[in-house]
Structure 1
Amino acid sequence: MTTMNYAPTRPRLGRPLVAARESADDVGIQLTPQLVAAWESRLGVDRARLARPSRFLGATGVQEWQGGVDIVPRDPDQFRAVRFDRELSMTATFCALHSPARVARTAERIQADPYELLLVTVTSMRGRTVLRQDGREHEYSAGDLVFVSTASPFIQTAAGVTDPSGLVIPLAVLGKHRPLAEQPRRPINKRTLLSRAAAGFVRRFAADTAAADVPAPSADAELAAVDLITAALAELASVDGYRLQDDALFNHQSAIDLIARRHRDPDFTPDSIAAELHLSRRQLYRIFENTDQSLATRIADARVETAREMLVANPWLPVGNISAASGFGSVATFRNRFKARYGIGPVEYRQSIAR
């Protein structure tokens, strides 16, 4: 895993990335098309909304990939990598798959590119990866939550093909908890329930934001993600008494994000959200009790909006097909919900658009 590769060459996140080639067949030798397809499948993203990855090939790909680091593959001519990444409002996310390589951020690099970031990563592929920083050496494997600060030199060595996913967080975003990221400490947290939950969240959040061609999460969702990661970092640094700033906010935004992603499933209900977030039905409803919409209404409204978009974009598609594709269990329910929202039925709405 080579986390530093995902940081930009300047403090501002998300500088546009340039793909070296376009064809999936070019991801040769170590990264076969089958391996890339399996990686995309593991990301768990709807293929209809899968973004287009950047590709990096050979010595040219090595130069295009690195930013503020020295990356040394075993054979530069055989270097292969694919990467999804995305700039959010305060952070950035990425999902990558690449050949074995050693990545170093030296003191000279830090002086030339003095940006200050916290890199939070997790992999799912087996393999030996070693991180050296602050005079210590640590080995980690699949599922381990890893924290690396760009403020001090480090070397990471991946012995095989690896698939890091994660977040890039400016240290300034951590606020009063910034010293947690800057102090020398063991960089790997893999022994607690919190660290395992955070690792799963990091992988899912990165895939849903970087690899999917969907709207970006809200700033509140980003802050909730940072808060969870900070809690795991505080636990790693043995800081007593740290508490999430607002776990209700985190669960609220997670529920909204689940509705956005899964409302097209006709079996998706508020109970599905409770199960996904490991909350009781009562706990979940308490989070939304002071809002202007119930969870059931939010799900129905999301389905109606998806149906409205399909009515406009697909003028010849039967209403029954649109109803099913939007997540409604019946056409009658779809018509009633649509008329309640827009004042006219879906057929009349389509006709008005055509006129």
Structure 2
Amino acid sequence: MTWIAHSTDRIPPPDRAAAWSAVIADVYFPLALTYRSASRFKGKLSNRSVGRIEVSRLRTEPLQYERLPRHISSTSEEEFLVTLPRRSPVTFYQMNREVRCEPGGFILERGDAPYRFSYEEANDLLVLKVPKPLLGTYLREPDQHCARVFDGRSGMGGLFSAMARRLHDEDTITDAASAAVVSRHLIELLTLALEDRGSGESMAGSAVRTAHLRRAGDYIAAHLTDPSLSPETIANACGVSKRYLHDLFRDVNGTVSQHIRDQRLIAARAMLEVASNRSIAEIAYRFGFCDQAQFSRLFKARFGETPSEHRARQA
């Protein structure tokens, strides 16, 4: 988990463009780079893995990056980049949307679709690389959040940005167990930030519906171990009708019961990672699953591996 540093300082000017393109391909994925002046280009990049997330800091002169169809056709892994500009604005184009992200904001980039990313002034970027299957376990249809600017100064976006910066700036993670926990919390904050569109657009086009949906989500998160948790109890606690509650969750392409089950599986997975003294059956019952067989079946369908396989891999 040590930092790996890359720099153009010792690369002869005629070789810098090719060498830097190779560094970018190795740390992120293959991209076509366009330099303002290839021979005068200077860049520094440091990166390391934290759990299943890769964190990097990229400092370069003006540059344009393009993810082209030829790059995508040969890739086998799907990944997202989360970019937080720290010095100057960036322009990003993907899926027929172009946005300009100022320092203090952040954007989500889909690595398995073409895009163009550029900045006209020297920049300092904090970049997280997140496997698509990992983000997909927390967030349904993450693609819909690409090419949008999110507020990194306040709300959940502010918490996420602050934690991402500290993760890079404060080198305090020294063991795999801590890295797994920290990376999970960072993804959870990212999920909340992506779903919190109150600064520009709401998930249902209504601030009231968004507030109700968030209240319902908070209630579910606080009562995951309650065996009586149901659409009826949630609706009563939030002061809405059960029909309205179901309508709220249809706004985010899901159902209440599905959300409860998904959140219980995510919480159970977290307990599997940190509570080695608890059996799989005990964890399954704690989060309301009828038996270990049902829990294992649903867990594998959601995460692609059984609870025992997940615990063994973490160990």
TM-score where L is the length of structure 2: 0.55
Greater Rg by CA: 1
Question: Which of 123, 131, 134 is the equivalent residue of 1:173?
Answer: 134
**153-162 vs 114-123, greater mean Cα deviation:** 114-123
Which structure dedicates a bigger proportion of its chain to strand? 2
CA contact (8 A) 1:180 1:234 kept: no
CA contact (8 A) 2:84 2:125 kept: yes
Q: 1:148 aligns to what? A: 109
CA gap 1:187/1:27 in 2 versus in 1, 3 angstroms: farther
CA distance in 1, matches of 2:93, 2:9: 34
CA gap 1:238/1:119 in 2 versus in 1, 3 angstroms: farther
CA gap 1:187/1:130 in 2 versus in 1, 3 angstroms: same
Q: 2:100 aligns to what? A: 139
Please state how far the C-alpha of 1:113 moved relative to its aligned partner.
2.0
Q: Could you say what secondary structure the match of 1:160 adopts?
A: coil
Question: Which of 43, 52, 60 is the equivalent residue of 1:98?
Answer: 60
- The reply on whether 1:196 has 2:158 as its aligned counterpart is yes
Q: How does 1:62-77 map to 2 (within 5 A)?
A: 62-67=20-25, 68-77=30-39
CA distance in 1, matches of 2:81, 2:175: 23
Q: Could you say what secondary structure the match of 1:233 adopts?
A: helix
Q: How does 1:153-232 map to 2 (within 5 A)?
A: 153-183=114-144, 185-190=146-151, 192-209=154-171, 214-215=174-175, 217-232=178-193
CA offsets, 1:39-60, max 9 Å, x none? xxxxxxxxxxxxxxxxxx7224
Please state how far the C-alpha of 1:103 moved relative to its aligned partner.
0.2
Q: Which amino acid aligns with 1:63?
A: S
CA gap 1:113/1:201 in 2 versus in 1, 3 angstroms: same
Please state how far the C-alpha of 1:89 moved relative to its aligned partner.
2.6
CA gap 1:105/1:114 in 2 versus in 1, 3 angstroms: farther
Question: Which of 112, 122, 133 is the equivalent residue of 2:74?
Answer: 112
CA contact (8 A) 2:5 2:47 kept: no
Please state how far the C-alpha of 1:80 moved relative to its aligned partner.
1.1
CA distance in 2, matches of 1:192, 1:182: 23
CA distance in 1, matches of 2:9, 2:118: 27
CA contact (8 A) 1:61 1:80 kept: no
CA gap 1:132/1:189 in 2 versus in 1, 3 angstroms: same
CA offsets, 1:264-314, max 9 Å, x none? xxxxxxxxxxxxxxxxxxxxxxxxxxxxxxxxxxxxxxxxxxxxxxxxxxx
CA distance in 2, matches of 1:238, 1:180: 16
CA contact (8 A) 2:82 2:109 kept: yes
Structure 1, unpaired ranges of 5+: 1-13, 29-56, 248-355
CA offsets, 1:134-178, max 9 Å, x none? 111101111112111112111011101111113211111124444
Tell me the matched-pair count: 202
TM-score where L is the length of structure 1: 0.49
CA contact (8 A) 1:145 1:188 kept: yes
RMSD of the alignment, in Å? 3.4
Q: Which amino acid aligns with 2:119?
A: A
Q: Could you say what secondary structure the match of 1:189 adopts?
A: strand
CA distance in 2, matches of 1:107, 1:170: 19
CA distance in 1, matches of 2:221, 2:170: 22
CA contact (8 A) 1:130 1:138 kept: yes
